[in-house]
Amino acid sequence: MTASDSQHGDAPDSSTPDSDDQVPAWARRTAGESRWWATAAMVGFLILQFYLPAGFTAGPRWLVPAIAFAMLLILVIASPFRLDREETWLRRIGLLLMALLGFAMIWSVIHLVRALIDGRISDNAAGLLASGGGVWLSNVLVFALWYWDFDRGGPAARAHVSKPYPDFLFVQMQNQDLADPNWEPQFPDYLYLSFTNATAFSPTDVMPMSRWAKTLMMTQSAISLVTVSLVIARAVNVLK
């Protein structure tokens, strides 16, 4: 059986003696990826939120980090090492956490743009670039987490091959002869996708396959373009 065969039928049975030799890891059941890359990205985002200027955070600067950290703690306790538990209540908490992080990021972007347009932001170029850089990096981290958590139903669903059709097509999926058979997309791959999309404003070597993936990438590029252009323009004006 080939990878394309597994996409048109049931998920391959990992108990078959030679299945591991014939089907790449991304298309068969695996032990699930380590949770720590994604957890580190979430903690990094919460630290950024805490240190953003008060005008760019939703409510007190501790509010979103405190709520998100509590939800993250539940997920870590429930699945501390490998992301392989495909349970409804865990999925719902994970989606709520993704929604909270997205809300905080969008709030920061909107208030940064409004402050730049209204001229209410500080005339300190260094402070402006630091705040703008923090909001831009928040954009990269949140969209990386969204790509990672939604692709084929999330990391646990990918481990169980619950949805065989990929939402993102990585190079290693297209040319299996150039990839380790044990390769499968993990959070650093989605972080790379998010970073390149936020800097190039277009796909590089990872192609969105589903409509929601294309919509998310288009939205991220638009947010990144507006944020970078306005911050740089204001900073140049201040330096003059």
The model's pLDDT over 187-232, given as tens digits with 9 standing for 90+, comes to 999 999 999 999 988 888 899 999 999 999 999 999 999 998 888 7
Q: In angstroms, rounded to a whole number, what is the distance separating the alpha carbons of residues 117 and 5?
A: 53
Amino acid code (one letter) for 178: L
Dmax (CA) of the chain: 69
Cβ atoms 135, 45 nearer than 8 A:
no
Q: What's the gap between Cα 60 and its chain centre?
A: 25
What is the rounded average pLDDT for all residues in the chain?
85
58: alpha, beta or left, given left = phi > 0 and alpha = psi -120 to 50? beta
pLDDT digits (tens, 9 = 90+) for 71-119: 999 999 998 888 888 889 999 999 999 999 999 999 999 988 888 887 6
**CB atoms closer than 10 angstroms to residue 185:** 24
What's the Rg (C-alpha) of the chain? 20
Mean pLDDT of all residues in 6-28: 54
Residue-by-residue DSSP string for 154-205: -HHHHHTTSS-S-SEE-HHHH-GGGS-TT----HHHHHHHHHHHHHHSS-SS
3-17, 72-86, 142-156, 220-234: the lowest-pLDDT one: 3-17
pLDDT of residue 9: 44
pLDDT at 65 over 90: yes
